[in-house]
Amino acid sequence: MTRARLICALAAMASAICLPAGSALAQVRAKADVACRPAAATLQYDCTITLTNSRTNEPLTGMTLTVGADMPSMPMMHNVRPVRAVPGQAPGTYQAHLALEMHGDWTLRLDLSGPVRDRVLTTMRFDPDRVMPAAATKGPSHKR
């Protein structure tokens, strides 16, 4: 066996031994669809999060989900303490209640643990009467 072949063989054996079968390359990633609506109180919103496997679109059940929010236009100034979401009626759905500090664009940070461990970020525009993806809006809005 030549020296180059020996080095390649040793490297292949080392990677097979050192990398677990479920390495990051094969890890399941989550996809999240978020729908929020204004609640009765000002600056409070009820959100439904649907979690699915990004490859198979199967619902992710048995998850522990926390939802936090940061205002990207004002880093470190406006952030909301994460709240724990509760499982909804349909498989893969979770409910969370958010109390924001002002209207405008907020990046939701969805932290998942359980059968799948992942973090999903999505930016939404929270207005007094509606919530939509931030990409569908024009400029920043910071109304109280």
Residue 65's beta-bridge partner residues?
Answer: 112
CA atoms within 13 A on the CB side of 11: 6
What pLDDT score was predicted for residue 3?
56
Q: What is the distance between the alpha carbons of residues 108 and 78, in angstroms, rounded to a whole number?
A: 12
Helices (H), the chain: 3-18
* CA-derived radius of gyration, the chain: 21
Domain membership of residue 21 (yes or no) is no
Domain membership of residue 20 (yes or no) is no
With cut-offs at 50, 70 and 90, classify the pLDDT of residue 136. Answer: low
48 class by beta-carbon count within 10 Å (0-12 exposed, 13-18 middle, 19+ buried):
middle
Rounded mean pLDDT of the chain?
A: 83
Domain membership of residue 116 (yes or no) is yes
CATH number for the domain spanning 45: value is: 2.60.40.1930
State which residues form the domain around 35.
28-133
**Number of structural domains found in the chain:** 1
| Residue with the two structure tokens 């097979």 | 16
Domain membership of residue 16 (yes or no) is no
List, for residues 46-85, the tens digit of each pLDDT value: 999 999 999 999 999 999 999 999 999 887 788 889 999 9
Domain membership of residue 88 (yes or no) is yes
Domain membership of residue 22 (yes or no) is no
List, for residues 125-134, the tens digit of each pLDDT value: 999 999 999 9
**Predicted model pTM:** 0.76
